[in-house]
Structure 1
Amino acid sequence: MKKIGVIADPHGNLSALEAVLEDMPKVDRIICAGDLVGYGPQPNEVIDLVKSKDILSVLGNHDYAVYQEKTGSLNKLAAKVAEWTHENLEKENLRFLGKLPKKTKIEEKYEIFIAHGTPRKPLKEYLYPNVSNRNLVKMTQGTDTDIIVLGHTHIPLEKMIQGKLILNPGAVGQPRDRNPKASYMVLKLGRKKEVIQNRVSYDIEKTEKKINELELPEKFGTRLHFGW
C-alpha cells in the first residue's frame, strides 16, 4: 500500500507547515497543490522546508504573482504581501517558484493529477465543496486520472465524479472553513483508495507576531485565530 501526504496553501506560515509535517504519519511522498507563499511572514523558510522534504508542488496564483511581479489579480492587501515577498525572497527560492509547473501528474498505484485551482484553469478557477455535479464535470473533464488534487479554496473537499476522486486537503497556512487548525490529508492507495482528513493545532500567536513585526497587514494574522 502506498501512502501519500497531501497538502496545499502553506502561504508562508512556517509554524503551520512544521506542525503538519510533524503530525503527519509516515508516508511514501508528499504532494502540495500550490501557494507556498503569500499572506505569511516566512516564505523563505517555507520554501526551504518544502525543498528539504522533497515535497512535489505545483504553482499557485500567489506563487505566480510573486515570481512574475504581477499582482493585479490579488486584492490590495494580498498584493502588498506578494510585493514584500518578492523583495525578500532569496534568489534561489524565487527561481524555485519560477520552475514550478502549473499542473502535473504522478503515478502511485493510481494516476494522480495535481493543480492549484482546477484542471482547466490552474491559477484562476475555484472548486468549492458546494459545486454542482454539472459544474464539477465541466471543471474536471479532459483530465482522465484516477485522482485529482486541488487547492486554492482553503476548504477541504472530497468528491467522486465519473469515477474520479476529487480532493482538496484544505489549507496548511490559512484555513477558511471556520476551523483555525492546519489541514492536510493522507491518501492510502491499495486495492481501494482511502482518504484520511487531519487537522492539527499550531502556534498561531507566533505567526501573528511575525506578521506584525514585519508590518504586514494585521488582518492576515488576526484571521488565523478564526479560520476565515
Structure 2
Amino acid sequence: MRLFAIADPHGNYSKIEELLKIAGKVDVVLIAGDITNFGPDEKALELFSLFEQPILAVPGNCDQRSIIDLIHNSPATDLHRKSVTIEGVRFIGMGGSNPTPFCTPFEIQECDYEESLGKMTGEKHDHKEPLVILTHAPPFGILDQVGDEHVGCKVLTDLLDIADLMVCGHIHEARGIVLSGKTTIVNPGMAALGFAAVIDIGSDTEDPNIEVTLIEAGREDI
C-alpha cells in the first residue's frame, strides 16, 4: 500500500496537485491536521476535492472543533477517535493537540488522549494487520522540539511500541523521519510550503516493511 501524507496546509492548498504528480500512484491519502487556518470549516472541501483516492483526515489544533462534522459529511473519512481498516492495514486517528501556550481552538488534555487511544489500541495484539496511527500532535521527545523544549504528547510516546507507523504534524520545523524501536514516525512537513511524504507499507502483515520518501514541490527526485 502506498500512502500520500500531508500535514499543516493551513488553508493553502496551492502545492498539493504538484505534490501528487511527484508522488505518482497512491492508494490512500492521510491528512494530519491543521487543514484550515482557524476556519472556515468549508475551506477543507477545497482540499478534499483534489484527491480521487480514499482520504483519512484528523483535525489540528488550528481547526475549529466543528470541522469534525464537516469531515464526517464530506468525501473524506473522519478518523478522529476512530479506527478503520483498508486493504488489511488498520488506521486509528486522534486530532487536535495536547495543550499549547496559545489557547488554540482544538486542544485536548493528555488524559483524553489516553482514554480514546487506549480504547482503540487495546485489542492491537489480537490483530495481525499493520497498525498506523494518524495524529496531529507528535509523540513527546520525537519530532516535537521547539527551541530547546519538547512539546509532544506523552501518551503517544507510550503507544509507540504497538504501532508500525505514526504520521503526525503540528511542529512545522520538525519535518523528518525517525525510527523508534519497530515504529516509524513521520512528520511530512508543512504542506502549505510544498512538503509531503510518500509511504510504502509492505504486504507482510507480521512485520511490514515501511519505506518513507519525503517530497517537495519543485523537486522530482523521488
Q: Same fold (TM over 0.5)?
A: yes
Equivalent pair of 2:57/2:80 in contact (CA under 8 Å):
no
Aligned partner of 1:127: which letter?
Answer: D
Map of 2:62 onto structure 1:
62
Cα distance in structure 2, aligned partners of 1:156 and 1:29: 21
CA shift, 1:21, in A, is 2.5
2:185 to 166, 175, 198: 166
2:110 paired with 1:111: no
Q: What's the offset of the Cα at 1:149?
A: 0.6
Deviation at 1:146, TM superposition (A): 0.7
Equivalent in the alignment of 1:145: 163
Count how many residue pairs are aligned between Structure 1 and Structure 2. 166
* Cα 1:132–1:19 shift into 2, 3 Å: same
Alignment of 1:85-100 (within 5 A): 100=78
Among 213, 216, 220, the alignment partner of 1:196 is 213
Q: TM-score, normalised by structure 2?
A: 0.58
**% identical equivalent positions:** 24
Structure richer in helix, relative to its length: 1
In structure 2, the CA distance between the partners of 1:102 and 1:45, relative to structure 1 (3 Å rule), is closer
Higher strand share: 2
Normalised to the residue count of structure 1, the TM-score between the two structures is 0.57
Evaluate the alpha carbon distance shift between residue 170 and residue 131 of structure 1 in structure 2; reply closer, same or farther with a 3 A threshold.
farther
Unaligned runs of 5+ in 2: 91-128, 203-207
Q: Which amino acid aligns with 1:6?
A: A
Which letter does structure 2 place at the counterpart of 1:25?
A: G
Match of 1:185 in 2: 197
* CA distance in structure 2 between the aligned counterparts of 1:21 and 1:102, rounded to whole angstroms: 24
Partner residue of 1:214?
none
What RMSD, in angstroms, separates the aligned Cα atoms of the two structures?
A: 4.0
2:32: which partner in 1? 33
